């Protein structure tokens, strides 16, 4: 049973407090993690006992589309959750007014649409590449950098797209995720000891996820001489695609 299923069925989580945006966003985060790990892990388990592991280009591009889509959506969602924690800690009396259920649904819709649009852009440019012969991918799933390495056409535009996407998602959204915590930390330090402990406990789990998620992304996608680190890339891919969601 998934985390989201437990959340939905447990009678202990059906109180009015449990229906706050925090739990709504946590449920969405669980769905995204389950989805993008499901894109890669079943295929990995299917291929493990085989001596020859073959995947078609169409299947590879489909895997990349959904993996990038769910991953990009999670980047945006973590920024939304950071804003939610800022409102909850710094403006608790206005929390229900600022974050009604309708607003949360609109935010989640924007999160999913933004992630899938980014993924569609990458996939469309990958469709323009030419692959002359079958070559091994240095990963247990199809990922854009490894696919670019085996292409026999010019990949300059694709690399440039990854760079801009990395700056936007890995830079802008990273800043949007962490900047509210400067204000949150300042507010927490003014609270009583009991309130401070409660505020830290609600924020620490989110920050832990953010650090692990961004750390594995930077390790996997933003290193020089990418093609000379095949072994490290495989380890990073496992961490990013399997361990992170757990």
Q: What pLDDT, on a 0 to 100 scale, did the predictor assign at position 216?
A: 75
pLDDT tens digits for range 201-212: 777 778 888 888
User: Does position 23 have pLDDT exceeding 60, yes or no?
Assistant: yes
User: How many Å apart are CA 35 and CA 208, to the nearest integer?
Assistant: 20
pLDDT at 195 over 80: no
pLDDT at site 18 = 46
- CATH of range 19-243; options 3.30.430.20, 1.20.1070.10, 3.40.50.740, 3.40.50.720: 1.20.1070.10
Give the Cα separation of 230 and 137 in Å (integer): 10
Please report the pLDDT score of residue 11 as a whole number. Answer: 44
In the numeric block, the tokens 């295929």 are attached to 43
pTM value surpassing 0.75: yes
What does each C-alpha distance from 225 to 90, 129, 133, 144 come to in angstroms?
A: 44, 21, 23, 15
Distance CA 244, CA 106 (A): 26
pLDDT score recorded for residue 126: 93
Angle between helix 193-221 and 173-188 (nearest 10) = 160
């Amino acid at each position: 049973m998934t985390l989201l299923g437990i959340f939905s069925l447990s009678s202990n989580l059906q109180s009015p407090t449990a229906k706050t945006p925090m739990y709504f966003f946590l449920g969405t985060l669980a769905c995204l993690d389950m989805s993008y790990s499901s894109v890669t892990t079943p295929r990995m388990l299917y291929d493990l006992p085989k001596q020859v592991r073959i995947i078609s280009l169409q299947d590879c591009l489909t895997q990349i589309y959904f993996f990038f889509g769910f991953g990009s959506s999670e980047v945006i969602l973590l920024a939304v959750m950071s804003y939610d924690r800022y409102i909850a800690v710094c403006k608790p009396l206005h929390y229900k007014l600022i974050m009604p259920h309708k607003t949360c649904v609109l935010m989640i819709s924007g999160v999913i649409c933004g992630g899938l649009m980014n993924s569609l852009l990458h996939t469309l440019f990958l469709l323009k590449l030419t692959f002359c012969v079958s070559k091994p991918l240095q990963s247990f799933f199809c990922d854009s950098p490894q696919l670019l390495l085996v292409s026999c056409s010019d990949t300059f535009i694709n690399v440039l797209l990854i760079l801009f996407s990395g700056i936007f998602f890995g830079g802008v959204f990273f800043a949007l995720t962490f900047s509210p915590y400067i204000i949150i930390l300042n507010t927490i330090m003014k609270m009583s000891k009991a309130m401070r402990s409660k505020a830290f406990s609600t924020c620490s789990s989110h920050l832990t996820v953010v650090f692990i998620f961004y750390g594995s992304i930077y390790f996997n996608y933003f290193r020089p001489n990418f093609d000379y680190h095949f072994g490290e890339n495989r380890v990073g891919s496992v961490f990013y695609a399997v361990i992170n969601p757990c």
